[in-house]
Structure formats: structure tokens, C-alpha cells
């Protein structure tokens, strides 16, 4: 897979799934627009690691995606640096609570970051991709964009919305480009339980029920939902995202691909 000469903007890419996606792209030769809420040391370390992985350049952008105007400005700032060939909307937050106890401001903030920001970045990036005949938008949804779970109303709402919005965008840009140029595609990846920071509060809560045993907590968590009982590594999501950028994937658009150990097959 060769992404030489291409640039990827990956939101929430200083850690977790976002960083592993950026690392996969860097290994294929893409320049990386790194994004996140990180201090200067964290940002510099992430960029340095991506350059070491093979990126010709990596530049950090620190826009706060809870503000839709900042999400649009993020793409604008990245475009001033380089043309954006690949956009990955990965940044996301979660808060668990029953609907009756979920603060409205928390609900709105989750939707702003997980859904509205993705709309704002796509709105700026997709027309430019269409002009060049090649573009990839990969929205990191979740298994919770396909099925629901207790106490996750805003997260589930945002991820179901992200899957639906991605399908609309896929239809709107279906005729952009050609097989030869690679076309413009919009897809979602829907991870199940994956070893990331966003899962830590749930692991910690389960560990408290197992005398602090983290391994037992993970096993308990997986047995509840994920038939393989294997937790995914963030790098596996990165490998799938990289494949979606291939020209051979020109006709794969409007999908929501689960990486969930059979969770949504039940």
C-alpha cells in the first residue's frame, strides 16, 4: 500500500485508535495532520513517532471540536498546509449514565464532538476531494452505531447518527472521480471492545468487582458482548483504515464495517 504524496487528517490522533490509524498511514508514506487536545510535549512526541514510522511530514493541530466552527477551521488550517486526501473522524467522548440522570449539557457535548464535528469537517473536505477525483472519508463510529447498550444514550445517538450521515455523504459523492483516480468514498468503521483509553472507566468499574483484577475485568466485559472473547488492538483498526484508502476500494462506500468479534452478528 503506497500513500506517497497523499495527506491524511486524523482527528483525535495523539493516542488510541486515532494514533494507530495515523501510524498505519505514515507507514504507507502519507503526510499526517495530527489532531487532539494535547500539550506541546505530547503533540511533538506524536509527530516525531509518526515521522519515524515513515511520514514525510507531520503537523499538529489543536482545535477544540466541541465548537463546530473550530471543526471547520481545523480542515481549513490543514488545507493551508496541504491538500487533504484522507479524512478520518476519530475524535470522540463518552459518558455513561441512565437517561434520567444524563445532564443535558453532557448529551449536547457528546453529540457536538462525536457527530457535529464530523459533519463540519466533511462539509469542507469532501468538495475538495471531489475536485481531485480521489478522496477517502473514514468515520470511526462504534458497534454502538449499530446496536444499543444501557446508559449510553448520547453516545449511541451520536454513533447511529454518524453511520446514517456517512451513508448520505457516500451517496452524494458516489459519482466523484473514477475507478482510475480512485473515486471518493465515505465509510464507517465500527469497533467493538478495543484496547483504548475510552474503555478504561468501564474496565476499572468491572475490576472493582473482581478485587482489582484488570484481566478478570476485561474477560467479564468481553463475555457479556463479544463472542470471540478477544479484545481488539487499535492497530487492527488502523490496518483496515489503510486498506479502505486503496484505489481497489473505489466501490466500497456507504458501509459500516464492524470489528467486533461477532457482537452484532448475535
CB atoms under 10 Å from CB of 31, counted, come to 25
Active site residue 155: yes
CA distance 49 to 202: 29
Question: How distant, in Å, are the alpha carbons of 103, 161, 164, 252, 258 from that of 158?
Answer: 16, 5, 10, 23, 16
Among candidate residues 25, 61, 134, 155, the one labeled active-site is 155
Range 233-247 burial, b when 16+ CB lie within 10 A, else e: ebbbbbebbbebbee
Tell me which residue of 40, 119, 112 sits closest to 75, measured CA to CA: 119
Taking a C-beta distance cutoff of 8 angstroms, is the pair 191, 237 a contact?
yes
**Residue 119 grid coordinates:** 459533519
SS3 136: strand
- H helix and E strand count, the chain: 9, 7
User: Angle at Cα 161 formed by Cα 147 and Cα 227, nearest 5°?
Assistant: 20
Which residue in this structure is represented by grid cell 444524563? 102
Give CA–CA dist 147/140, Å, rounded: 15
Catalytic residues: 155
Amino acid at each position: 500500500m503506497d500513500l506517497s504524496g497523499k495527506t491524511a487528517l486524523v482527528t483525535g490522533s495523539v493516542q488510541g485508535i486515532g494514533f494507530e490509524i495515523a501510524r498505519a498511514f505514515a507507514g504507507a508514506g502519507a503526510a499526517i495532520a495530527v489532531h487532539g487536545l494535547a500539550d506541546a510535549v505530547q503533540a511533538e512526541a506524536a509527530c516525531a513517532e509518526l515521522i519515524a514510522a515513515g511520514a514525510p511530514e507531520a503537523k499538529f493541530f489543536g482545535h477544540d471540536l466541541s465548537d463546530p466552527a473550530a471543526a471547520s477551521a481545523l480542515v481549513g488550517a490543514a488545507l493551508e498546509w496541504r491538500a487533504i486526501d484522507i479524512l478520518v473522524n476519530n475524535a470522540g467522548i463518552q459518558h455513561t449514565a441512565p437517561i434520567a440522570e444524563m445532564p443535558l449539557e453532557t448529551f449536547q457535548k457528546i453529540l457536538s464532538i462525536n457527530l457535529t464535528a464530523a459533519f463540519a469537517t466533511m462539509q469542507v473536505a469532501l468538495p475538495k476531494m471531489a475536485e481531485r477525483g480521489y478522496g477517502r472519508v473514514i468515520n470511526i463510529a462504534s458497534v454502538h452505531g449499530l446496536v444499543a447498550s444501557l446508559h449510553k444514550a448520547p453516545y449511541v445517538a451520536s454513533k447511529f447518527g454518524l453511520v446514517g450521515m456517512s451513508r448520505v455523504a457516500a451517496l452524494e459523492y458516489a459519482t466523484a472521480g473514477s475507478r482510475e483516480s480512485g473515486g471518493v468514498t465515505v465509510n464507517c468503521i465500527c469497533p467493538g471492545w478495543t484496547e483504548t483509553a475510552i474503555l478504561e472507566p468501564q474496565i476499572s468499574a468491572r475490576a472493582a468487582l473482581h478485587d482489582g483484577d484488570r484481566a478478570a475485568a476485561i474477560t467479564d466485559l468481553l463475555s457479556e458482548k463479544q463472542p470471540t472473547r478477544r479484545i481488539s488492538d487499535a492497530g487492527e483498526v488502523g490496518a483496515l483504515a489503510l486498506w479502505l484508502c486503496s484505489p481497489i476500494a473505489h466501490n466500497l462506500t456507504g458501509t459500516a464495517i464492524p470489528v467486533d468479534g461477532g457482537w452484532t452478528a448475535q
